[in-house]
Amino acid sequence: MKTIIIEENHKKRNRSPFLEWLFYMVGYALILITISVIFPKTMQIDHKYFGLWALFAAILISILNRTIKPVLVWLTLPLTALTLGFFYPFINVIILQIVDVLLGSHFEIQGFMMSFLIAILISLMNMLMDELVMKPILGKE
């Protein structure tokens, strides 16, 4: 016979989806601004209005990740399986190129390698944000 003890002192923290989304948007925008400052010839963001265009780009990346990315993942599943998952980061590159086209001269990425670097940095930021911010602060499980 097993005995299950339930602790009532353990309180679950409330998750705020808006706060979680806001943390990710600020993280995306900071990565985009940092890359545009470090590599000014290969990535340009319009720095007018104190980084507003970087925030627009981050919001577009988030929207495209929720809408178009699942379709792209499904369409490229055979190629991703054949390459043992190495093609998956290229989906993020495609998302970044779509944002580049949508924002026009306010957000420009020259070259495939810069898009790939940004996609890798955004993926790393997502992992770090989950481990260091979302779980400890917001109580995401």
Within a domain: 15: no
Average pLDDT score over residue span 81-96: 91
Express each pLDDT in 3-54 by its tens digit.
Answer: 555 555 555 555 678 888 888 898 999 999 999 999 999 999 987 777 889 9
Within a domain: 121: yes
Scanning 3-87, the segments in alpha helix (DSSP H) are 17-38, 52-75, 77-82
Confidence of residue 85 (pLDDT cuts 50, 70, 90): confident
* 116: containing domain: 23-138
Facing residues of 43 across strands? Answer: 109
Cα-to-chain-centroid distance, residue 35: 14
Which residue, among 97, 95, 91, has the nearest Cα to 74 in the 3D structure?
A: 91
Within a domain: 2: no
Within a domain: 10: no
Number of domains in the chain: 1
User: CA–CA separation, 17 vs 97, rounded Å?
Assistant: 27
Express each pLDDT in 42-67 by its tens digit.
Answer: 999 987 777 889 999 999 999 999 99
Alpha carbon distances (Å) from 141 to 21, 40, 71, 135: 16, 38, 26, 6
Within a domain: 76: yes
Average pLDDT across the chain, whole number: 85
